[in-house]
Structure 1
């Protein structure tokens, strides 16, 4: 009995390490300690302000601070945004908060690597605690922190009209959501040491528009020395949906919707600044009726993803492709899911996920929507490239998978590979790594040929097969273990193969002349490393397609010819 009592006392004292009250620049905060194992726990701090309530279309300002101890035990409101079904708004303008997950062992953690997560959601919606299942957010950082022995931070930032509306000049420069992310990273850099983190070893990572945001943060001159590494999952700044090239036209459209249509741009902006934020947010929604119309009129759903960062001459001083010299210092890991484009292709080609046949006309219509900048010549050349392996009578599963591949390549894979190549060309000793995530989809009712859908990697990275074990199989836990090991090793050392976690096989570095990539699924072995990811299609889009004249240029050339004839 005495032995049991002694053992019990020893166990309780051995697992008692927790932070308690932490002093930050704004004041004291106290989180909640969550038991993970006999000798491990995670301190969770929810809803710590990293900036003041932002003014409308203004950069974030420092938080004034608070007295007493802030009880950081509940998530704060997301930033004002439309709901998933786009029927109403949710959230608040008071939304610039972050959440911190600190793993603890027998002793208090110190000098840990820090991983800062930027959520996705088409720059239109999302939150640091989004997608709740059984009371647990998809981005809950406890498993990743505990299993990878890293501090995980998730942050809110403004989205939609309030985060990205721009006139393309000083009147409404735009990029307010990017400034929020930058403010959060800066706050973490200044304060994370008090939580046991190493301010000199911060990795930012994100998915979809969050992944593109990671890339934008790398490319901005404002982030030199603020973080050390970056991971983009299914998105980069070069993606065709990640940059708004005609912001004034979009702002005029939104102004019309809220009754601010004015001939003079200054008057329009003045009217917009006096408009109700909820009405402005609703004006930026994607109209479901528009989706149908766009698809029927030989368009693509990507055209409706309009609110996005802009080249503002400040945070993003030039086109992203010209800014990779700013990213020379950051180790970079980037990749895509094998069917990142399937979700979008299923809207653009309505037969894709049904038993109905996908026809040649539907495939060409999709290509016409994707390549409208280049005109009909691009449709034919792209069609020939993608159908060369079909044979005379291709099975429908082959045709449909090709359609998903087209949209994945155009929207995600080719821009990501381009970003990786630009990173290696500009790198100043920093390392580069490439991957393809292709675990078969877990989404029910999708056709058997569908592999990894957009965002399906996140459940494994955030350890859901462990925290919600009843709805996963052992193979999913294997994959989750591999991903957490590679990602946190990279955050720790800049090399996914080296660190505190064992990995199944070494992941070779991507260089200027040597382009390996890791195929990530539950069967990682020595055959999982391949080279030159989809090189035939990468070459098509970056060489053959890119040198085709644009429709606008063709029109200009015709006008010049006609003028010369008249003269």
Structure 2
């Protein structure tokens, strides 16, 4: 009994350190400590304000501060947005909060690398604590922080109508959600030292719309010296769904829906500014029924960033000189486009339905309409060249998913990597392809890594909820956490405190290696020139085709095109 008591006392006295109350610029905050293992714990601060309640369509303002000790022990509201089914709204205007996950050993952590996460959700929905399934939020940073020995921060930002409506001029510049992200990252730089973080070693990372956001943050002139590294997972600023080219037409459409249509634009804007935020948010929802059989999902993503002459001063492809000092890692999931292709061409997921040549041509027509009918024939010949005279139905279906993956994600990411490598001044560039087999039941056998499936592994879900995963999933999760946190620590995913299965070579101006990420990473996982035949088609052949001019109303949804992205490639 004496031995047991002594052992208990020793354990207690040698337990992990705790931060307790932390002094920030706005006041004192106190989080909660979570035990993660022997001599290891995690201080978690939820709902720390980084800006004041934002005014409607205004940039975020500094928080006025508070007296006493703020109990930072629960997540705050997400920003006002439609629900997943888009039948109502949820969230609040008082939403500019962040969450901090700090790993501790026997002594208080100091000078740790910091990773700031920007969530995805098509710029329409999402939150820093989104999607709680089988336990904690998908973006809960405990496992990533503990296993990588880094600080994780997750940030809220405005989305939908309240975050991205714009007139394309100074009256309603837009990009309010991007300004929120910038304010959150700036707060982290000013305050993270008090939590044990290194303000000179911040990495921003995100997935989908969050990846596009991280990309825009990297390209903005406002980010100079603010952070050090960037990771884009399944999206970049060059993605054809990432930029609204005709914001005023979209604003007029929203105005009609809420009863603010006026022939005088200033009167229309005055009406919008006094309109109910809930009604405005509902007016920005996606109506998927309008697209079925008539176009492509990409056309529905309207409330997105704009070139405002300020935060985004020019076409993204012209801004990579601003990214010269940032180390950059970017990649895609092998089936990123599958869920979107399943809406555009539903037959690809139906066992008893064949996907026809007309289906494939129809998809290409929807994606390439800015180039007219000439693009359909040339793209079809490239993507059907490996079919043979009588292709298997599964081959045709997978081709549809590949087309959408290439166009929406893979090709823009490869261009962004090339532009970064071309402009880098001492910074490094890394490319990857995540292709772990999907865990989503009911999909055809040929489906690999679906959009967003990488996140469960990066955030350590196979460790946090082990009963719903297998050992191979924990292997993959460990590899991703090691590569990502090494990159955050040193700028090289192969070098740091975590062991990795194989070295990951840098992507350069003249050599384009990439790492294939799954549960079996070996030396053969390093390949070169990812889908180069298709990248070459979109960047050279397709971009050289003349564009078709259309009227303003038709261009409401038009976005950045692959056809203009290669202007600054060698």
Give the whole-Å Cα distance in 2 for the aligned partners of 1:289 and 1:88.
17
**Among 312, 315, 339, which residue is 2:311 paired with?**
315
Would you say 1:497 and 2:479 are equivalent positions? Answer: no
Aligned-residue offset at 1:7: 2.0
Superposed, 1:449-468 pairs within 5 Å as 449-468=446-465
Q: Could you tell me which residue of structure 1 aligns to residue 563 of structure 2?
A: none
Give the whole-Å Cα distance in 1 for the aligned partners of 2:499 and 2:259.
59
8 A Cα contact 2:134 2:465, kept in partner: no
Unaligned runs of 5+ in 1: 555-567
RMSD of aligned Cα (Å): 0.9
Q: Could you tell me which residue of structure 2 aligns to residue 560 of structure 1?
A: none
Give the whole-Å Cα distance in 2 for the aligned partners of 1:265 and 1:215.
32
Which secondary structure does the structure 2 equivalent of 1:351 belong to? helix
Would you say 1:241 and 2:241 are equivalent positions? Answer: yes
Give the whole-Å Cα distance in 1 for the aligned partners of 2:299 and 2:246.
12
Which secondary structure does the structure 1 equivalent of 2:48 belong to? strand
1:20-57 per-position Cα deviation (integer Å, ceiling 9, x unaligned):
10000000000000011011111000000000000000
Give the whole-Å Cα distance in 2 for the aligned partners of 1:123 and 1:534.
28
Which secondary structure does the structure 2 equivalent of 1:137 belong to? coil
Which runs of at least 4 in structure 1 moved beyond 4 Å after TM superposition?
none
Would you say 1:286 and 2:283 are equivalent positions? Answer: no
Unaligned runs of 5+ in 2: 552-570
8 A Cα contact 2:15 2:38, kept in partner: yes
Superposed, 1:345-384 pairs within 5 Å as 345-355=341-351, 356-384=353-381
Aligned-residue offset at 1:372: 0.2
Give the whole-Å Cα distance in 2 for the aligned partners of 1:151 and 1:353.
40
Give the whole-Å Cα distance in 2 for the aligned partners of 1:319 and 1:248.
18
Superposed, 1:510-521 pairs within 5 Å as 510-521=507-518
Aligned-residue offset at 1:553: 9.0
Give the whole-Å Cα distance in 1 for the aligned partners of 2:5 and 2:57.
61
Aligned-residue offset at 1:13: 1.6
Give the whole-Å Cα distance in 1 for the aligned partners of 2:359 and 2:472.
37
8 A Cα contact 2:79 2:159, kept in partner: yes
Q: Could you tell me which residue of structure 2 aligns to residue 563 of structure 1?
A: none
Could you state the TM-score of these two structures normalised by the residue count of structure 2? 0.96
Give the whole-Å Cα distance in 2 for the aligned partners of 1:53 and 1:553.
40
Would you say 1:507 and 2:542 are equivalent positions? Answer: no
Which secondary structure does the structure 1 equivalent of 2:172 belong to? coil
Q: Could you tell me which residue of structure 1 aligns to residue 297 of structure 2?
A: 301
Q: Could you tell me which residue of structure 1 aligns to residue 555 of structure 2?
A: none
1:49-80 per-position Cα deviation (integer Å, ceiling 9, x unaligned):
00000000000000000000000000000000
**Among 422, 440, 452, which residue is 2:419 paired with?**
422
Q: Could you tell me which residue of structure 1 aligns to residue 189 of structure 2?
A: 189
**Among 536, 540, 543, which residue is 1:543 paired with?**
540
Give the whole-Å Cα distance in 2 for the aligned partners of 1:102 and 1:553.
52
Across the two proteins, how many residue pairs are aligned to each other?
550
8 A Cα contact 2:288 2:300, kept in partner: no
Give the whole-Å Cα distance in 2 for the aligned partners of 1:224 and 1:138.
30
Q: Using CA pairs under 8 Å that are at least 6 residues apart, name the structure with larger relative contact order, 1 or 2.
A: 2
Give the whole-Å Cα distance in 2 for the aligned partners of 1:205 and 1:391.
41
Which secondary structure does the structure 2 equivalent of 1:153 belong to? strand
Which secondary structure does the structure 1 equivalent of 2:57 belong to? coil
1:284-334 per-position Cα deviation (integer Å, ceiling 9, x unaligned):
0001322xxx2322x101100111000000000001000000000000000
Q: Could you tell me which residue of structure 2 aligns to residue 75 of structure 1?
A: 75
Q: Could you tell me which residue of structure 1 aligns to residue 262 of structure 2?
A: 262
Which secondary structure does the structure 1 equivalent of 2:77 belong to? coil
Q: Could you tell me which residue of structure 1 aligns to residue 92 of structure 2?
A: 92
Could you state the TM-score of these two structures normalised by the residue count of structure 1? 0.96
Would you say 1:404 and 2:388 are equivalent positions? Answer: no
Q: Could you tell me which residue of structure 1 aligns to residue 444 of structure 2?
A: 447
Superposed, 1:199-278 pairs within 5 Å as 199-278=199-278
Q: Could you tell me which residue of structure 2 aligns to residue 328 of structure 1?
A: 324
Give the whole-Å Cα distance in 1 for the aligned partners of 2:550 and 2:447.
38
1:75-103 per-position Cα deviation (integer Å, ceiling 9, x unaligned):
00000000000100000000000000000
Aligned-residue offset at 1:134: 3.0
8 A Cα contact 2:335 2:451, kept in partner: yes
8 A Cα contact 2:236 2:412, kept in partner: yes
Q: Could you tell me which residue of structure 2 aligns to residue 47 of structure 1?
A: 47
